[in-house]
Each structure stands twice: as C-alpha cells, then as structure tokens.
Amino acid sequence: MPWRTSIRRFSWIAILSAIGLLTGCAEQDAVKEKPVPLTIESTPYGQLPSGEAVTLYTLRNGTGMEIGVIDYGAILTSVKVPDSKGGLADVVLGFDSLDGYLGTQPYMGATVGRYANRIAKGKFTLNGKTHSLAVNNGANALHGGIKGFDKRMWSAIARNSEVGPSVELTYVSADGEEGYPGKLTTVVTYTLGNDNDIRIHYAATTDADTVLNLTNHSYFNLAGAGKGTILDHMVTIQADRFTPVDSGLIPTGELRSVAGTPFDFRTPTAIGGRIDETGDEQIKLGGGYDHNFVLNDGNGQLRLAAKAREPVSGRVMEVFTDQPGMQFYTGNFLNGSVTGKEGIRYGKRFGFCMETQHFPDSPNKPEFPSVVLKPGETFESTTVYKFSTDGNK
C-alpha cells in the first residue's frame, strides 16, 4: 500500500462528527450539561534576529490540559497534563523563552524535515540523479540539514475544529533547499482533543519528485520536564523487529527480531532495565536506545505504536500512528550543556523521544518502504499522543 495515501482510508473528523450528531439527538430528551469552553490564545513570543515576530499559540481543552505551539519550527513548546491526583505538570523538555530554541539544542519539540532522521553520507539517487545534501551529523545528513524545518518560520492559522482547538502551520520549502529537489509545501496541524490527546496531522505536496519524512521530536518525561531521568518509565512498543545500525547510526538494511535482545519491549519494560547492557553491540553503538522500530500491523492504518507509564505520577502516554516505523531515543547525547525550563540543565536520559516515521536512510535502501513523493500526489499522515493516568485506564 503506498504510504502517501494511507490516511485517506478513513476520517477521524467524520467519525467524531457523526458521533456528535447522534449525541445531539439524544440530548433533546436529556438535561444538557454546560460544556467547558475550548480556548486558543495567541501571545508574542519574541523576535528572530531577522526581526520576524514569533507567536505562541496556547490550546486548552475542556478537561484542563494545555499545550503550547510556536510558529518558529512548528515547535511543541509545552504539554501540561494532570497526574493521578490531578496535579498538572509540563511533560516535554524545552525552554522558557525563544532564545533557548534559537540556540544550539537537540531539536526539542520541533517538526523535523524535509527528511527526519539520517541519510547516509548526505547523498541519495532519485530518477538516476544523485542529490548531495547538507551534512550535519558526522558524514551524514540529519533531520533535514543545517537549516531544516525546525529552524524555519511557518505561517499559522488558529481555529476551533470539530474535535478541538487547533493551529495549522504551513511552510514552503524551495527547490534545492538543503540539497532536496522540488518545491515542497508542508502543512502541520496540531489539534488538542477533550480525551487529552494531541493529534498531529501532516500533509505535503511537491512540484517535482522528492523524498519526504516528517516527525515531531519532542522529549518526554512523564514525571515532569527536568525531574530527573526517564529510566524508571515502563515502555511497551508494538514491534517484533527493529533496524540495527552501523557505527554512524545508519541502518544496515536488516530487519532484526527483537526476541532475546534489549530491544524487546513487547511487554512493559523499564527503559533502564537493559539500557547499559555492555554485551549488546547495538546498545553500545547507540549509547543506549537510538533505533528505529518496525511497527506491527501496518498497512497505513492508525494504530497503537507504543505506550509509556511513569510509576510515581501515574501518567500514561499512548502513541498512535499510521507510519511504518518509530525511532525510540533515550536522550543519550544530553550532557548538561543545555539549560532548559526553570533553569534546569538537562542531563543524560532526562527525556525520551518516540518519533513516528519512515525508516532512516530509506532513499538509499530500496528494500525499505518508499519515501518518494511525486507531483499530483498528497502525502498525509497522522500521529496521536494520548495522555491519561492509572486512575482512569
């Protein structure tokens, strides 16, 4: 099944609208409860060195959850969710002001592209032509290059949708930007639902054949941003296989079984349980987990990919995606050099990423699912981060 049309199989908005119509009929004979209003607030968030003004969009749902999104980098700056006792905490790493996002930092909360993850040696061949990309990760291209989507201004429109408050962000990437062919128009929409779910919808079109891989690079700590390491989080990943890597963290092309390895998260397992196993070559190469997992039950359907639970707060996060892979990264390269929210230095393994995606280096691996987007086609994909607590699961 071509990945670019996978999300068209169904429409969550249509389903929820139908449910709403049925509910509306039932309410004619029932006492209506006054809904808690959904809100969107826009506030100034500083200026770029160029003088462009950056805006923060704060979305709140009817249950008290709140998220922040800025139009620089289409960055998710905050996610405030309750614990099992109702106490709110921000569970994504980031910064208190724009200055932090403009500095040297590891893609916190960002929308990354044109190609998320790594492309070996910064080169790929498409239609017989070799394209040379901006190299920014040793010999490789990472997350779109030196000035990828995470470092660009996006145009934003905030609105209330059928499922909740949303902000739609658009960026037009010029032909040849960072070495990628084709003029690419990308739209990323964040929507906050009343089920404490963040729905991220991606859409893109091009005027020439190109390659595309989009994801969100938020670092999560369900105890709260800056509240120590994430080693005690219990994680489940719906994957029987993963893609082992070489010394440059480029997939070898093998799809290896997780059975009998530290990569077996098919049942709830503490992140720290096997992260320092000195006998495992792949753990050594990644410095921990920094690997793509081949998700089960694909075929372009939105399905559960992973789940994380923090035992003290009781917070739970579920990840749903229609993409074939997910990069599980455990903050191995955080080293205290980045000062984040409330002046806290983010140390090693202070956050984890669950980046829904196509496989790394797919443009050079024809055996991997295709990442080619052609004129006249529309890439569409959805990822959902859904939050709850032990008390309501």
Structure tokens at 307: 């789940």
Q: Annotated catalytic residue: which of 178, 310, 318, 355?
A: 355
Residue 355 designated active-site = yes
Residue whose entry in the numeric block shows the structure tokens 């909740």: 164
Contact 40, 51 (CB under 8 A): no
Contact 156, 167 (CB under 8 A): yes
Backbone φ and ψ of 211, nearest 5°? -115, 150
Q: Please tell me the CATH code under which domain 36-392 is placed.
A: 2.70.98.10
* Mean per-residue pLDDT of the chain: 91
Backbone φ and ψ of 123, nearest 5°? -140, 150
Name the DSSP letter for residue 136.
Answer: -
pLDDT digits (tens, 9 = 90+) for 181-221: 999 999 999 999 999 999 999 999 999 999 999 999 999 99
Q: Order of strands, edge to edge, in the sheet holding 75-82?
A: 39-47, 53-60, 66-70, 75-82, 88-90
Distance CA 295, CA 303 (A): 10
Rounded to 10 degrees, what is the CA torsion of 142, 143, 145, 147? -150
Residue 143 designated active-site = no
Contacts of 219 (CB under 8 A, 6+ apart): 92, 93, 94, 106, 108, 109, 331, 346, 350, 351, 352, 353
- Sign of CA pseudo-dihedral 210, 215, 216, 220: negative
pTM for this predicted structure: 0.89
The DSSP H or E segment spanning 282 is helix 281-286
pLDDT digits (tens, 9 = 90+) for 109-163: 999 999 999 999 999 999 999 999 999 999 999 999 999 999 999 999 999 988 8
Contact 49, 42 (CB under 8 A): no
> Has residue 31 got a pLDDT over 60?
no
Q: What's the length of the chain?
A: 393
Q: Annotated catalytic residue: which of 143, 217, 291, 358?
A: 217
Contact 254, 216 (CB under 8 A): no
pLDDT digits (tens, 9 = 90+) for 335-380: 999 999 999 999 999 999 999 999 999 999 999 999 999 999 999 9
Q: What is the average pLDDT across 95-107? A: 97
Structure tokens at 367: 């055996």
Contact 317, 185 (CB under 8 A): no
Query: Three-state SS for 242?
Result: strand
